[in-house]
């Protein structure tokens, strides 16, 4: 799919690796100038890759879970690149395997850290960028949630709660800004192959087969599958789509994939 994003400024949070990097690359390939945000300096590598392919990008470090850091990052983006047309709230974290606990054993620090990045972060970034979008009467926001925000999972209460919260935040924000020409949508990925999930699930044959037995398409998604969904949602081709959560999960949440 090819769309025209020439002249648009796009911010992608958490774009040093994984899904965020794929989104940044695809928006750039379609003409956008990309502000690459990440808490990790590896964001510079995403910019280098974009420039190597003939695109324009600049790295803006910042922690989305910290309001002051987000406000400073936003001011720097607007000063260097101009008003922002597209915001992709992608940065997100979960616990590793060792951090999975039932609610009665879940620690304060893990709960706060996940909520602050996965939920507060979406609020902080949406707040700082959507004010200008409302004033200018145009803009698009896409929030990267998870199927675990639609269907909860055991032992990951913070992630399930944060992702459910941010998906309803998405719809709530869409209601507020629709009248000003600003669209807000979400994407809910299923299991997507990244460096992180390769280590967590896909190195172990048994674990990988068990996970994929729930997925009708019987494969993990590619980061490009999520980037393509985002590209559609930010494009003018989706100009009548707002307040929607697009599930991209190989059919995982369509129903029971196995008999019992
Ligand atoms: P990833 O590979 O871990 O990439 C996330 C990026 O965000 C990393 O570069 C990370 O930096 C950065 N980040 C972490 N905390 C941040 C903060 N406070 N401020 C700014 N950047 C921060 O993750 P991913 O798998 O691509 O996931 C991207 C999004 O998709 C997340 O919201 C995730 O919940 C969602 N998702 C992923 C999957 C999947 O299967 N991969 C499935 C469903 C939903 P560090 O590496 O330094 O921490």
Contact 120, 65 (CB under 8 A): yes
pLDDT of residue 259: 85
Catalytic residues: 159
pLDDT of residue 203: 94
Indicate whether residue 194 lines ligand 1 (CB < 6 A).
yes
pTM of the model: 0.99
Q: Is the CB of 230 under 6 A from ligand 1?
A: no
Residue with tokens 């209601």, as numbered in its chain: 175
Atom of ligand 1 nearest to the CA of 63: 19
Query: Probe ligand 1: pick from 59, 93, 114, 169, max atoms within 8 Å of CB?
Result: 93
For residue 118, give the ligand 1 atom closest to its CA.
32
What integer pLDDT is reported at residue 199 of this predicted model? Answer: 92
* Residue-range domains of the chain with CATH: 9-247 (3.40.50.720)
Q: Is the CB of 156 under 6 A from ligand 1?
A: no
Q: Parallel, antiparallel, or unpaired for β 9-12 and 33-38? A: parallel
16 CA distance to ligand 1 centroid (A)? 9
Residue nearest (by alpha carbon) to ligand 1 atom 36: 146
What is the pLDDT at residue 260?
78
pLDDT of residue 172: 98
pLDDT in tens, the chain (260 residues): 999 999 999 999 999 999 999 999 999 999 999 999 999 999 999 999 999 999 999 999 999 999 999 999 999 999 999 999 999 999 999 999 999 999 999 999 999 999 999 999 999 999 999 999 999 999 999 999 999 999 999 999 999 999 999 999 999 999 999 999 999 999 999 999 999 999 999 999 999 999 999 999 999 999 999 999 999 999 999 999 999 999 999 999 999 998 87
Q: Please choose from 92, 201, 207 the residue to mutate so as to test ligand 1's pocket, defined by most ligand atoms within 8 A of CB.
A: 92
Q: Whose CA is nearest to atom 7 of ligand 1?
A: 14
């Amino acid at each position: 799919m090819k769309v025209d994003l020439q002249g648009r400024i796009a911010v992608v949070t958490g774009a040093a690796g994984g899904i965020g990097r794929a989104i940044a690359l695809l928006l750039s390939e379609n003409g956008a100038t990309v502000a690459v945000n990440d808490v990790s300096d590896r964001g510079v590598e995403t910019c280098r890759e974009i420039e190597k392919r003939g695109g324009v990008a600049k790295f803006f470090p910042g922690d989305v879970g910290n309001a002051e850091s987000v406000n400073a990052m936003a001011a720097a983006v607007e000063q260097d690149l101009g008003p922002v047309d597209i915001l992709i709230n992608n940065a997100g974290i979960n616990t590793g395997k060792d951090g999975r606990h039932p609610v009665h054993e879940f620690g304060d620090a893990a709960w706060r850290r996940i909520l602050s990045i996965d939920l507060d972060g979406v609020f902080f970034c949406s707040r700082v960028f959507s004010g200008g979008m409302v004033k200018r009467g145009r803009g698009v926001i896409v929030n990267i949630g998870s199927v675990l925000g639609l269907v909860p999972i055991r032992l990951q209460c913070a992630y399930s709660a944060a992702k459910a919260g941010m998906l309803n935040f998405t719809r709530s924000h869409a209601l507020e800004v629709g009248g000003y020409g600003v669209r807000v949508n979400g994407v809910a990925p299923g299991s997507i192959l990244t460096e992180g999930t390769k280590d967590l699930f896909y190195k172990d044959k048994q674990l990988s087969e068990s996970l994929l037995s729930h997925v009708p398409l019987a494969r993990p998604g590619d980061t490009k599958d999520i980037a393509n969904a985002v590209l559609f949602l930010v494009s003018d081709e989706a100009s009548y789509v707002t307040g929607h959560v697009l599930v991209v999960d190989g059919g995982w949440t369509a129903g029971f994939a196995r008999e019992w």
